[in-house]
């Protein structure tokens, strides 16, 4: 277990480095700069700003400086949100994005595993087919369609939920989380159903039946755990999907999360902000994949050394 974590962290560092450098040079290839406002600045001011932020130095030196500061936890200043450092913006946005993503994955697991279980118990019957059909539809629901549709229905027409911003209480979370969770829950339901179907044919289930255990107990205790293995391996890609989905959801519902900063930053050429967010996203995804691997090993001990 410790070995796995160590090996993963060792590959994570070069991966992160590659991502940071790739994004760094990509950003710099882009035409335009962070100081091209609506009014062109006079050349002297432009040069002074470039110098103040170190943008006049050779690219490699800038990249080196960026990384050496990053190691010390300094993401640098934001070039567009002038009075903020990138760390401050991230500190504002990250909790919102993490809350959205975390709640969405919990909700998706809850809906998906329950639906998958029901479908597997009623395998081949109408319930099974209906649930699987719904799951297919759910996986095909893009957040940028469900988000506005939910906002229109529950926000504008029924007036039940806030359409934009983070108001008092947790009501503002409901629609964004549901929009994010739906496609993931569909995928989880399918995986659970398929996992259970193959597990239930195995010998240990048959012997559990022969011992006269109740069907519920067999399902929950013997079937579900093994059936969760494919679900666990899906959690990594799911996390990446949720982070991208969060970009849309934050835009649709006007939430000041990381995704909004990313899109705004990319459009405004706010180099440090974009780099900071990409780095953080990459780190989060790598971390989540590791976490998924650990769950994987716990569910299926044969996988522990692999």
Partner 1 sequence: MLKTHLALFLVLVTVALALVLPFLLPWSYDQIDWNAVRAPAFSGSHLFGTDEIGRDRLARLAAGTRITLMVAIAAALVSLIVGIAWGATAGWIGGRVDEVMMRIVDGLYALPFMFIVILLMVVFGRSILLVFVGIGLVEWLTMARVVRGQVMALKQRPFILAAEAAGTPSITIMLRHILPNIAGVALAYLMLTVPQVVMVESFLSFLGLGVQEPLTSLGILVKEGADDMDMTPLGLALPGGLLVMILVCLTIEGERLRDRFS
Residues that bind partner 1 in the complex, under the rule CB under 8 A:
11, 15, 19, 22-23, 26-27, 29-30, 136-137, 139-142, 144-145, 147-149, 151-152, 156, 236-237, 240, 243-244, 247-248, 251-252, 262-263, 266-267, 274, 277-278, 281-282, 285-286, 289
Choose between 106 and 137: whose C-beta lies nearer to partner 1. Answer: 137
From 33, 31, 92, select the one nearest 276 (Cα to Cα): 92
Q: Is residue 183 within 8 Å of 234, Cβ to Cβ?
A: no
Choose between 113 and 284: whose C-beta lies nearer to partner 1. Answer: 284
Q: How far is the CB of 204 from partner 1 (least distance, A)?
A: 26
Q: How far is the CB of 224 from partner 1 (least distance, A)?
A: 23
Choose between 224 and 234: whose C-beta lies nearer to partner 1. Answer: 234
Phi/psi of residue 77, nearest 5 degrees = -85, 155
Q: Is residue 27 within 8 Å of 271, Cβ to Cβ?
A: yes
Choose between 89 and 285: whose C-beta lies nearer to partner 1. Answer: 285
What is the separation, in whole angstroms, between the first and last Cα of the chain? 10
Q: How far is the CB of 135 from partner 1 (least distance, A)?
A: 10
CA separation for the pair 116, 96 (Å, rounded): 30
DSSP 41: P
Q: With 0-12 CB in 10 A as exposed, 13-18 as middle and 19+ as buried, what is 79? A: buried
Q: What DSSP string describes 162-192?
A: -SSS--SSSHHHHHHHHHHHHHHHHHHHHHH
Q: How far is the CB of 165 from partner 1 (least distance, A)?
A: 16
Choose between 23 and 208: whose C-beta lies nearer to partner 1. Answer: 23
Which helix (H) or strand (E) element contains residue 108? helix 86-121
Q: How far is the CB of 249 from partner 1 (least distance, A)?
A: 11
Q: How far is the CB of 279 from partner 1 (least distance, A)?
A: 10
Choose between 12 and 213: whose C-beta lies nearer to partner 1. Answer: 12
């Amino acid at each position: 277990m410790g070995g796995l974590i160590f090996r993963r962290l060792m590959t994570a560092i070069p991966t992160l480095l590659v991502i940071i450098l790739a994004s760094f040079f990509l950003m710099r290839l882009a035409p335009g700069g962070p100081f091209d406002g609506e009014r062109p600045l006079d050349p002297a001011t432009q040069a002074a700003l470039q110098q103040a932020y170190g943008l006049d130095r050779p690219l490699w030196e800038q990249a080196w400086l960026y990384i050496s500061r990053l190691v010390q936890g300094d993401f640098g200043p934001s070039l567009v949100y002038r009075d903020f450092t990138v760390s401050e913006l991230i500190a504002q946005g990250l909790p919102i994005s993490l809350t959205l993503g975390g709640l969405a994955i919990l909700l998706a697991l809850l809906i998906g595993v329950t639906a998958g279980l029901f479908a597997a118990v009623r395998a081949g019957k109408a319930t099974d087919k209906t649930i699987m059909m719904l799951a297919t539809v759910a996986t095909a629901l893009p957040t940028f369609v469900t988000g506005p549709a939910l906002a229109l229905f529950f926000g504008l027409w029924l007036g039940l939920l806030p359409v934009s911003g983070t108001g008092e209480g947790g009501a503002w979370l409901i629609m964004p989380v549901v929009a994010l969770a739906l496609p993931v829950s569909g995928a989880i339901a399918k995986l659970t159903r398929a996992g259970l179907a193959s597990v239930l044919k195995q010998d240990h289930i048959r012997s559990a039946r022969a011992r006269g255990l109740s069907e519920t107990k067999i399902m929950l205790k013997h079937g579900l755990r093994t059936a969760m293995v494919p679900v666990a391996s899906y959690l990594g890609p799911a996390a990446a999907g949720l982070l991208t989905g969060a970009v849309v959801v934050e835009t649709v519902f006007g939430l000041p999360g990381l995704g909004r900063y990313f899109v705004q930053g990319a459009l405004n050429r706010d180099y440090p902000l974009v780099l900071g967010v990409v780095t953080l996203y990459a780190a989060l995804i790598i971390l989540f994949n590791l976490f998924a691997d650990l769950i994987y090993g716990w569910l299926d001990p044969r996988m522990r050394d692999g």
